[in-house]
Chains A and B, each alone.
Chain A
Amino acid sequence: MSRDALNKRADRREFVAKLLAATPDALVVTGLGSASYDVFAAGDRDKNYYLWGAMGGATSLGLGLALAQSDKPVVVITGDGEQLMGIGSLGSIAVKQPKNLTIVVLDNGHFGETGMQRSHSSLGADLVAIAKGFGIADAYSTNSIDHVDEIAQGINARRGLSFVQVFIEADEPPRALPPRDGPFIKNRFRAALGFKPF
């Protein structure tokens, strides 16, 4: 899909809610800011790991998790700004090719959390080309929730490493704030996987 052809953009909340409803067993990592709010707004679950900081770290955290839990689907949901700060991680992930990892970048082309300044993604950078260049062959963009079912099937089947750029509206839905208590979220997540406190 060429960028020029994209007039329509997906509604971020609708897209995320539909994707998570279709991937009930996925382990979900969220990049800080709006991506975290979108995932929380779709319904809190124990197997969500929300980041409130560590900008640029969401996909790397997803890599460590995907390698550790290779029999479960892992989905990183983040924004274009967060992904850009950790862009090299796409190279590190491509080297490992974890079959159970899917990266979903909600791309409004702006830094939403800080006043909607334009990001590289709307100033010339092509995140799909970058992902492919790093070696993630299954990298593509979408602008429609019509593609969610297909994306979810790939996630659930752990079909292979993939990178999905979702063009979304540059709007600001009502804030839906997930817990900020890092140890709580960590311990809840680990407990959901059956790990006891040390």
Chain B
Amino acid sequence: MNHTPAPAPAWQEVIFKVLKEGGVNQIAYVPDAGHSHVIRSAIADPDIQDVVLTTEEEGVAVCSGAWLGGDRAVLLMQSSGVGNCVNMFSLLQAADFPFFTLVTMRGEYAEFNPWQGPMGKATQGALELMGIHVLRASKPEEVEEIVSAGFDAAFEAGEKVAVLLGQELIGRKKWERK
């Protein structure tokens, strides 16, 4: 199959710029279309370890291990993955690790697939129940500031932060294959 990626939206390029300038050494992920530019960029960057996960909670532990070893790591996932992480989030609280995750949202805006609804609608609540501070970017022009603000809170203040990237930002998923 030939997957020539379309040019990335500017807001995705801006996210990678924030992570790169912030000295991120590891990017752990379960893929999503909204993260595709950052994932491609991580794979292409010799100074960043890209870590593909089988399930998102692995990433919570990878990011904690990275911090133990002096690295900055971030976790990329979709809203459904937040549900997979819930008990593993205990690690962040129990040891007070800094944590930064970018979550692409489903189930909240022009959603086609009803199976995405339950976890998408519970994502923010689940994060907050586990003590993670939630920020949200819904418009392309606010992505840089909000991602950067969350990143700094995580790695300068040691907070646990999730930035939700709204489904409105990501756009409607095209279901008809041509």
Contact = CB atoms under 8 A, between A and B. Distances in A.
Contacts of B25: 67-68
A122 interface: no
B54 A89 contact: yes
A64 B70 contact: no
A71 to B, nearest CB: 11
A61 B57 contact: no
B70 A190 contact: yes
A57 B88 contact: yes
Given A49-B68, A185-B95, A68 B58 contact: no
Interface stretch (B59-67, B124-132, B143-151, B168-176): B59-67
A60 B95 CA distance: 16
Majority SS at the chain A contact face:
helix
Chain B's interface size range is: 35 or more
Contacts of A58: 61
Interface string A69-97: 10000000000000000101101100110
Interface in A102-132: none
Contact of B70 (A52, A182, A183, A195): A195
B49 A57 contact: no
A60 B61 contact: yes
A186 B70 contact: no
A178 interface: no
A140 interface: no
A27 B71 CA distance: 15
A81 to B, nearest CB: 15
Given A185-B95, A186-B97, A64 B71 contact: yes
B60 A57 contact: yes
A66 B69 CA distance: 8
Interface of A: 27, 29, 49, 51-58, 60-69, 86, 88-89, 91-92, 95-96, 182-183, 185-186, 189-190, 193, 195, 198
A23 B91 CA distance: 27
Contacts of B158: 198
Contacts of A183: 95-96
Contact of B68 (A92, A96, A189): A189
A64 B96 contact: no
Contacts of B66: 64-65, 67-68
A153 B96 CA distance: 34
Given A64-B71, A185-B95, A54 B90 contact: yes
Interface in B71-87: 71, 73, 87
B26 interface: yes
A60 B65 contact: yes
Nearest to A68: B69
Nearest to A60: B61
List the 10 closest A-B pairs by CB distance, nearest first: A68-B69, A64-B65, A88-B54, A182-B95, A57-B61, A60-B61, A68-B71, A64-B66, A61-B65, A65-B65
A65 B95 CA distance: 15
A193 B69 contact: yes
Contact of B58 (A49, A55, A92, A198): A92
A32 B53 CA distance: 21
**A29, A67, A189 — most chain B CB neighbours (10 Å):** A67
B68 A61 contact: yes
A69 B73 CA distance: 13
A33 to B, nearest CB: 15
A86 B84 CA distance: 12
Contacts of A96: 49, 51
17 contacts: A53-B94, A55-B87, A57-B61, A61-B68, A62-B65, A64-B67, A64-B71, A66-B65, A67-B26, A68-B65, A68-B70, A69-B70, A95-B51, A96-B51, A182-B94, A186-B96, A195-B70
